[in-house]
Structure 1
Amino acid sequence: MKLVILGAGESGIGAALLAKQKGFEVFVSDGGVIKDIYKQELAVNGIEFEEGRHSWKTILEADEIVKSPGIPEKSELMQKVREMGVPVISEIELAWRHSKEAKIIAITGSNGKSTTTALTYHIFEQAGLNTAMVGNIGLSYARQVATAPADYYVIEVSSFQLDDIVEFKPDVAILLNITPDHLDRYEYKMENYVESKFRIAKNQTENDYFIYCEDDPEIRNHLAKKPIYSKTIPFTIMEPKKEGGFIANEQLNIQVKDEPVIMSIYDLALKGKHNLYNSMAAGIAGRTMDIRKEKIRESLTSFKSLEHRMEYVATIRGVDFINDSKATNVNSVWFALESMERPVVLIMGGVDKGNDYSAIRELVTEKVKAIICLGVDNRPIHEALSKDTKVMVNTDNMADAVKNAFQLADKGDVVLLSPACASFDLFKNYEERGRKFKEEVKAL
């Protein structure tokens, strides 16, 4: 069988290694430049590849195509592929076909995916289960299946990956929230994006679990219109539940199966309202797989948060510096500001994906004393938020952004890097942006 892989990032290379191992004839095609380390891997494994172009004839002769989540459907190549009727799948579909004997816990949502994935993995690992954390966080799912198969896979999945599944079926699916993001890929229609997120449950049966946030209006509306087949378990901060996760009397409760998990919200490792949701989702996932309540409680207490996601960096002359570089949309910034209890100097900006900043205006007015704009084009932030904060400063590099923020902060304030934007104007990715922030803070 001839398999063509479009895109040679981590997911494409993982798919190539797995396909080669399973005896497929594999060809990798990337329209851009392939990283040297990936080229070496392809060469060592005897996998044919091309970069800087797409050989249409070779691609269109494939029996099946594995498409990188980054390639939009409206590209000329994909339109030709669809026209010719070549079957297209995502890397998670390929990996799932070769790991059906394992238990799959898949996590999606507009915000909080990485944190919840890492927290769920922490719970499973602390329980002594042979678990791998894969997907948008860490190694690709396919690479893990090819190189170090596990009994449990905790997978962070994006809507783009879900768009090209066929039979992919998680034993446990978690849907955290749905807020506008990537709408440019969904014809600017929210309902298309919602449908895409719900694909996580499309192949589930009554033996599987669907864990969801009952407080999210988009999720509630969709479930009312289109019920799903799996066992649904809600979590909420609004009211007690017979089954599911809820907060009552400042305690987190997980009522799943016959062993309730109850603990004080003040004992949770992750702080902030949004993390109550993430903690409930991860805890419920643990209970569906019969992990004991003591282990879940212990794990929710001992978890260390992720790099670039509300990561504490340092305190300098009474000013706390927090790296939330992974906040690449407005909703993530809303969560970050919502959890702040002290005055904030906010560093934000980058490549604006058509952001609607109105969602954070109230929090900016209430909590932000100054905004440091960090980007090539800072106009959208000025236009949206200049009336909501007294001070706005323009910068086009991290050193100036950090210095300006420190000068404007008083003892007891927080300097928060929470950009609301992609990083591609000044940095390779959000990780590089976050690392640069930490370097400049340490240089103060």
Structure 2
Amino acid sequence: MKLVVLGAGESGVGTAILGKQKGYEVFVSDKGTIAKKYKEVLLNNDISFEEGNHTGSKIFDADVVMKSPGIPDKASLVVALNEKKIPVISEIEFASKYTEGLIVGITGSNGKTTTTMLVNHILKKGNINVGMGGNIGESFAQQVAENSFDVHVLELSSFQLDGIVNFAPHIAILTNITPDHLDRYEYQFENYINSKFRITENQTENDFLIYDYDDEVISNWLKNNKVKATLLPFSLETELEQGVYLKNNNIIIKYKTEEKIMNKSTLVLKGKHNTKNAMAAAMAASLLKVRKDTIRESLEDFEGAEHRLEAVLKINGVQYINDSKATNVNATYYALESMKAPTVWIVGGVDKGNDYLDLMPLVREKVKAIICLGVDNQKIVQTFYNVVDLIVETAGAEEAVKVAYKVAEKGDAVLLSPACASFDLFENYEDRGNQFKKAVREL
């Protein structure tokens, strides 16, 4: 059997290692340059590869192709593979066949990284042999090849779910659905929604779908579509017959029995969205028989994700906050919603079809100045020029931070929450966040 891997990043190289271990003849093809660390892994494992181009003759004799999530379905090579009826799957589809471990799969437009890290943190504290992967950390395929975890906690992007056939997590979590990545879905929100719901399409009645009851997009889809899994919603607004809800500010889990987990005021992560992330994680951990005291302790001592509302430094009474991971409007909405101080907001990058009007009430209420950080900031300027007195365009993290330093006064906050992808000026959102933090430390 021949396995061809398109893209030699984390998921590609992990799949190649697992494929070789399982007896496939493996060939890795990357159109770009393969990073040094991944090239070394391929060489050490004696896996044949090419970089800088895709050689058709070496690809079209594959029995199965694993494509990296970054390669769109419309890419000519993928179209050609489909025409030749060669199966094109994602890493999670390939790797899930080879693990005995239970899978907790987590998707959604926002909150999936934090929720994934929360579930992993709680299960570790509960002494469960757990591995975390997918869209975060080490590749799932490599973990399957090198460890035998009892539970895999996987952050799943819609792109990874687009490439599944039989993949079915025992527990699926859907945090929320808001327009994102529409450039990959013909600018049809419906296509993106369906993509997210693929997380539950192969689940059975013995599996669970944990989801946001307050999210209209999710609720409407569930009204019109059948799901086999047991539904366990979470809500901040409604007392539920089954699921997770608030009663007198206490987080209550109700499934078979009813248990009070904790008061939401003691959650270490603040903001409504984080209460929801905590509820989803608590429900998943409870299904996996983690004691409620362990769940409570874990939610009280969790340290958040880097680049997600990360407090960097306080300088002259001004708090600098790195939320570089906010690559869409909804993520920035959460960030602005959680701001208590007058805010100097650094925003901009590669716009994925954003509608900034959703942010208008929060910008009116909280933002005193906007600093644009992107090659093309026209849409941001047009949206907010009537609302915010000062809008400045900058061409890099260092300049943006210096301007913010001049504008901000004691008691203010400077928030990097770009609402956009980062590929115009930076390698990725981590690079953007790290450059921001470095510039703040050098003030």
TM-score normalised over the length of structure 1? 0.98
| 1:78-97 correspondence runs (5 A) | 78-97=78-97
What letter is aligned with 1:392?
Answer: I
Q: CA deviation at 1:149?
A: 2.7
What secondary structure, in the 3-state scheme, does the structure 1 residue paired with 2:257 have? coil
What secondary structure, in the 3-state scheme, does the structure 2 residue paired with 1:260 have? strand
For residues 248-281 of structure 1, what are the alpha-carbon distances to aligned partners after superposition, in whole Å with 9 as ceiling and x for unaligned? 3222222234251331111001000111110100
For residues 351-387 of structure 1, what are the alpha-carbon distances to aligned partners after superposition, in whole Å with 9 as ceiling and x for unaligned? 1112111111111111100011112222121112222
Q: CA deviation at 1:48?
A: 0.7
Corresponding position of 1:428: 427
| 1:408-427 correspondence runs (5 A) | 408-427=407-426
**Aligned partners of 2:393 and 2:184: how far apart in 1?**
30
For residues 162-212 of structure 1, what are the alpha-carbon distances to aligned partners after superposition, in whole Å with 9 as ceiling and x for unaligned? 011011110100001010001111111111111100000011001111000
Corresponding position of 1:161: 160
Corresponding position of 1:379: 378
- Determine if the alignment matches structure 1 residue 313 to structure 2 residue 312: yes
| 1:106-117 correspondence runs (5 A) | 106-117=105-116
Q: CA deviation at 1:227?
A: 2.0
Corresponding position of 1:329: 328
CA contact (8 A) 2:177 2:193 kept: yes
CA contact (8 A) 2:309 2:335 kept: yes
**Aligned partners of 1:87 and 1:332: how far apart in 2?**
34
What letter is aligned with 2:439?
Answer: E
Corresponding position of 2:27: 27
| 1:344-359 correspondence runs (5 A) | 344-359=343-358
Aligned length: 443
CA contact (8 A) 1:135 1:156 kept: yes
**Aligned partners of 2:27 and 2:86: how far apart in 1?**
15
Corresponding position of 2:286: 287
Q: CA deviation at 1:413?
A: 1.1
CA contact (8 A) 1:256 1:287 kept: no
**Aligned partners of 2:249 and 2:44: how far apart in 1?**
56
**Aligned partners of 1:312 and 1:87: how far apart in 2?**
45
CA-atom RMSD, angstroms? 1.0
Unaligned runs of 5+ in 2: none
| 1:205-354 correspondence runs (5 A) | 205-258=204-257, 260-354=259-353
**Aligned partners of 1:141 and 1:178: how far apart in 2?**
24
Corresponding position of 2:146: 147
What letter is aligned with 1:399?
Answer: E
Corresponding position of 2:387: 388
**Aligned partners of 2:246 and 2:442: how far apart in 1?**
42
What secondary structure, in the 3-state scheme, does the structure 2 residue paired with 1:304 have? coil
Residue identity over aligned pairs, in percent, reads: 55
**Aligned partners of 2:350 and 2:238: how far apart in 1?**
39
What secondary structure, in the 3-state scheme, does the structure 1 residue paired with 2:400 have? helix
| 1:34-53 correspondence runs (5 A) | 34-53=34-53
- Of 406-415 and 322-331, the range deviating more from structure 2: 406-415
- Determine if the alignment matches structure 1 residue 402 to structure 2 residue 401: yes
What letter is aligned with 1:91?
Answer: E
Cα distance change, pair 106–116 in 1 and its aligned pair in 2 (3 A): same
CA contact (8 A) 2:349 2:424 kept: yes
Corresponding position of 1:63: 63
Q: CA deviation at 1:125?
A: 0.5
CA contact (8 A) 2:328 2:419 kept: yes
What letter is aligned with 1:367?
Answer: K
**Aligned partners of 1:238 and 1:294: how far apart in 2?**
24
**Aligned partners of 1:149 and 1:440: how far apart in 2?**
42
**Aligned partners of 1:65 and 1:409: how far apart in 2?**
52
**Aligned partners of 1:116 and 1:208: how far apart in 2?**
19
**Aligned partners of 1:349 and 1:368: how far apart in 2?**
15
Q: CA deviation at 1:119?
A: 0.6
Corresponding position of 1:203: 202
**Aligned partners of 1:387 and 1:120: how far apart in 2?**
43
What letter is aligned with 1:407?
Answer: K
**Aligned partners of 1:407 and 1:148: how far apart in 2?**
51
CA contact (8 A) 1:119 1:282 kept: yes
What letter is aligned with 1:85?
Answer: K
What secondary structure, in the 3-state scheme, does the structure 2 residue paired with 1:290 have? coil
What letter is aligned with 1:94?
Answer: F
**Aligned partners of 2:158 and 2:234: how far apart in 1?**
21
**Aligned partners of 2:256 and 2:49: how far apart in 1?**
50
What letter is aligned with 2:168?
Answer: K
CA contact (8 A) 1:109 1:178 kept: yes
What letter is aligned with 1:137?
Answer: I
CA contact (8 A) 1:16 1:28 kept: yes
CA contact (8 A) 1:259 1:293 kept: no
CA contact (8 A) 1:257 1:288 kept: no
**Aligned partners of 2:89 and 2:75: how far apart in 1?**
16
Unaligned runs of 5+ in 1: none
**Aligned partners of 1:149 and 1:436: how far apart in 2?**
37
What letter is aligned with 2:12?
Answer: G
**Aligned partners of 2:256 and 2:54: how far apart in 1?**
52
**Aligned partners of 2:410 and 2:54: how far apart in 1?**
56
CA contact (8 A) 1:325 1:417 kept: yes
**Aligned partners of 2:145 and 2:271: how far apart in 1?**
38
- Of 346-355 and 23-32, the range deviating more from structure 2: 346-355
